[in-house]
Structure 1
């Protein structure tokens, strides 16, 4: 293979490919290629019957109640749990007739893939349209805060856009996968009206990506058909138990926000000392820009540190948070 690192150009977290490409054992890698919290929520004991029987309505209701409280969901909105946000991203395009979909990017690529696969005409947008902008797409997708650059969109402007979309029979889909570290941008507290669909997930902030749990927050006009298509028992019993416990632990949430902010400041110090320019990010990841970003990625990989490059932006490199000072020191040494 002429480029042994080509398998990393499209997604983070591919440690198995890193092992195969380099021969370095998995245990020796420092994986900074995702925006997942490196200090995850401590998973509580899972009741044995969560594995041996179908989930019950009371358990689903407990998860939804915990999500409503954790995300500050408005009383008039409905929370639909799903086996991961990816499932929701794939189902939403099937609930509308084919039309035009504008995705504000560059951003998480699965949104464009899912809408295009369902037969919609997908357009790249550099910004959200104005609420009554002529020729606006039928559906607008915004990630807030955005991945990978951390760009934030004003919630009042997004709410006005959602109202404009509703007037023309359209939707605004807001993916808030990273909003746990930026709760001020969330629209969950004002959800429930027509035209607005919000996606939330505990995978990044709670460090539980493998739980495969996500939520749609919307009015009944979207929530009802979405839940019907997901079907009964959409979320597995263990995920119901762990998700409800994690989301109900508001003390852990608040302490973790402070810890992530402190670790992000420490990472910023390492990057600045290496002479790198930070061009965006959140408290879960940083995006740097450098003319030699590709060479830096390969140098880090040869040192057993996996970052996230971007085929469409070769000057970019995204780095997640090292979990401890030892990881920071290892990164600083590799950057030197």
Structure 2
């Protein structure tokens, strides 16, 4: 039985262990879109664990994020993109929200719980007229992409446009972060996915000064930890690592697609950190992988869809190939 308030997500490795056994360290968790070859954190000074983050340290993190996301617009660090999603209802009086679906499943319940009228639509143009419009770009779970010019054309037709760019790090040409001084445009970014450090709980909201001011006030004086600040500053300024990682992910997408094709699975779409496949029976495919202690993501509403993150080390690729060949 699901706990109250919990929704279907990847990363539920405890469920895989309950059903198929094994220790967490025995499993390859491909149920999420988190980089399996994370940024090398290195040593952290004890100060980052012991002292409250200072204003200057938080400012340094904001500057590093502006560098990585190629923007000079106001932004605020938060405990993951999810923390920003939780605060979206506070940006404006309750009204009509439209979400381009199917997509990440936290937006609708958060807004509904706050009294918003929520409608899921299937086309970009159908967002027009909403007080709050939400687009995930690239989309999760099918990887649909929307051209920046088309999103900017939508902006005057909605009260506020929120674009979730949690999977955009490796496709920076999709990002509208540099355009967020425009009133009504808000960008959400996730740090943990591309940098492979989801447990750090770090993300950013980028937007017009008025919106960022509200989110900053609602987040409190210490929205992220000292460790998150130190690691974030390091990683977000490491352009060489980001470029090499983006190139590797592009190659690995092709590699995984070829392995899936050998199973007769059809590519539905994907982003540089995950792929979505049409299978004859996703639960059967998930169980086959789980017997080899590889966890994937199936979808209750789409019984033929199976989503896989990209393996990391070569040993993970070898095990995946072995399990698929059985």
Q: What is the distance in 2 between the residues matched to 1:217 and 1:95?
A: 13
Query: Is 1:159 aligned with 2:152?
Result: yes
- Measured against aligned partners, the alpha-carbon deviations of 1:36-92 in whole angstroms (never above 9, x if no partner) come to 01100000221211111111111111101110010001x3x2111111111110011
Q: What is the distance in 1 between the residues matched to 2:7 and 2:44?
A: 36
The Cα shift of 1:30 comes to 1.4
The Cα shift of 1:260 comes to 1.1
Structure 1 alignment gaps of length 5 or more: 2-7
* Aligned residues of 1:130 and 1:161 also touching (Cα < 8 A): no
Query: Is 1:98 aligned with 2:102?
Result: no
What TM-score results when the alignment is normalised by the length of structure 2?
0.95
Equivalent in 131, 141, 144 of residue 137 of structure 2: 144
Query: Is 1:121 aligned with 2:114?
Result: no
Equivalent in 253, 277, 280 of residue 264 of structure 1: 253
* Aligned residues of 1:79 and 1:218 also touching (Cα < 8 A): yes
Q: Which structure 2 residues correspond to residues 312-323 of structure 1 after superposition, within 5 A?
A: 312-323=301-312
- Report the equivalent of 2:65: 67
SS at match of 1:181: coil
More displaced 10-residue stretch of structure 1: 325-334 or 289-298: 325-334
Q: What is the distance in 2 between the residues matched to 1:49 and 1:329?
A: 41
* Aligned residues of 2:37 and 2:313 also touching (Cα < 8 A): no
Cα RMSD (Å): 1.6
SS at match of 2:302: coil
- Report the equivalent of 2:280: 291
The Cα shift of 1:9 comes to 8.7
Q: What is the distance in 2 between the residues matched to 1:10 and 1:241?
A: 32
Equivalent in 175, 184, 190 of residue 179 of structure 2: 190
- Measured against aligned partners, the alpha-carbon deviations of 1:146-173 in whole angstroms (never above 9, x if no partner) come to 00000001101111212332xxxx1000
Equivalent in 225, 243, 246 of residue 254 of structure 1: 243
Query: Is 1:277 aligned with 2:266?
Result: yes
- Report the equivalent of 1:17: 15
- Report the equivalent of 1:328: 317
SS at match of 2:154: helix
SS at match of 2:191: coil
* Aligned residues of 1:35 and 1:285 also touching (Cα < 8 A): yes
- Measured against aligned partners, the alpha-carbon deviations of 1:184-235 in whole angstroms (never above 9, x if no partner) come to 1100111111110000111110001011011000001211111111111111
More displaced 10-residue stretch of structure 1: 144-153 or 271-280: 271-280
- Report the equivalent of 1:310: 299
SS at match of 1:179: coil
Q: What is the distance in 1 between the residues matched to 2:111 and 2:83?
A: 13
More displaced 10-residue stretch of structure 1: 18-27 or 249-258: 18-27
The Cα shift of 1:302 comes to 2.0
Q: What is the distance in 2 between the residues matched to 1:80 and 1:229?
A: 11
SS at match of 1:286: strand
* Aligned residues of 2:58 and 2:229 also touching (Cα < 8 A): yes
Q: What is the distance in 2 between the residues matched to 1:81 and 1:148?
A: 25
SS at match of 1:314: strand
Structure 2 alignment gaps of length 5 or more: none
Q: What is the distance in 1 between the residues matched to 2:23 and 2:198?
A: 22
Q: What is the distance in 2 between the residues matched to 1:52 and 1:228?
A: 24
Q: What is the distance in 2 between the residues matched to 1:303 and 1:186?
A: 38
* Aligned residues of 2:146 and 2:174 also touching (Cα < 8 A): yes
What TM-score results when the alignment is normalised by the length of structure 1?
0.92
Equivalent in 61, 81, 86 of residue 85 of structure 1: 81
SS at match of 1:42: coil
